[in-house]
Amino acid sequence: MNAYIFPGQGAQFVGMGLDLYEEYPLAQELFERANAILDFSITDVMFEGTPEDLKQTKVTQPAIFLHSVILSKVLGANFAPDMVAGHSLGEFSALVANGTLNFEDGLKLVSQRALAMQKACELQPSTMAAVLGLDDEVVEQVCAAVNGIVVPANYNCPGQLVISGEVEAVNEACEKLKEAGARRALLLPVGGAFHSPLMEPAREELAAAIENTTFNEPDCPIYQNVTTTAITNSVDIKQNLIAQLTAPVKWTQSVQNMVKDGALNFVEVGPGKVLQGLVRKIEPIANTASAVIA
């Protein structure tokens, strides 16, 4: 069985999507439609902007979404998933790819999500840190023992977990995690505490937008970040998508469940190869590849 997986924030690079725009009329049409929906030329930033321009959350999230979704549409009949999943932002790309959301609604939600997260980041100093070389349970226990808000945010693969929260609490957790034997506990260059309680204002804002958007029954199951199991009910998909902003991304558990349910081949659709590397660390028996247009 084939699992198609979609990357999240951090996978962007200058020039992303330009090859699709130049070679495929469908891609060009969708990129131009995106410029009109967003009311600014995101293609200018994607194709020839600076890395700093592309790093802005309001640009990064729609850019990665566009690259992933347009690539999946250009693949045509070669896009044949038995199941899909996305890492954080990538969940929106996956939901367009499996027919739950249409292109326009997916892009509007991603844009609203990015702006809402940016606003939440500005309300309080907050950050994230990558923790390497510890069992998940140890990281969970250390975070729980720290005063202030600091929580596990991304379960990326065994031995690699990202924590998120208030600056002081994250710094304190990093020191305690090093004492507990972490190989590294490294602050990340991000604008805020994604997938933590500090994203509650963004969750409330996005919830209203999601509730007012039509979600179709999907063509194939999605393994969502919050539940990690196969979801096919559009009402459940909405609720999980709303919960995702303040809940951890359980990528390790999602991949394990996809393999348990028969996935042998994982195809990454979008910029970069980060998810392929994570899948190989989680389930070494799995085959991984980037989506390629035949």
Residues with active-site annotation: 88, 195
Contacts of 201 (CB under 8 A, 6+ apart): 116, 119, 120, 123
Amino acid sitting at position 129 = A
Helix (H, G, I), strand (E, B) or coil at 159: coil
Q: At what angle do helices 200-211 and 234-243 cross, to 10 degrees?
A: 160
Q: What is the CA radius of gyration of the chain?
A: 18
The two tokens of residue 26 are 């469908």
The two tokens of residue 167 are 């600056």
For residue 222, give the H/E element and its range: strand 222-223
First to last CA, the chain: 20
Q: Please, are residues 72 and 269 in contact by the beta-carbon 8 Å criterion?
A: yes
Q: Please, are residues 196 and 151 in contact by the beta-carbon 8 Å criterion?
A: yes
CA distance 196 to 248: 7
Give the other-Cβ count within 10 Å of 203's Cβ.
20
Place of tokens 């020191």: 175
Q: Please, are residues 199 and 169 in contact by the beta-carbon 8 Å criterion?
A: no
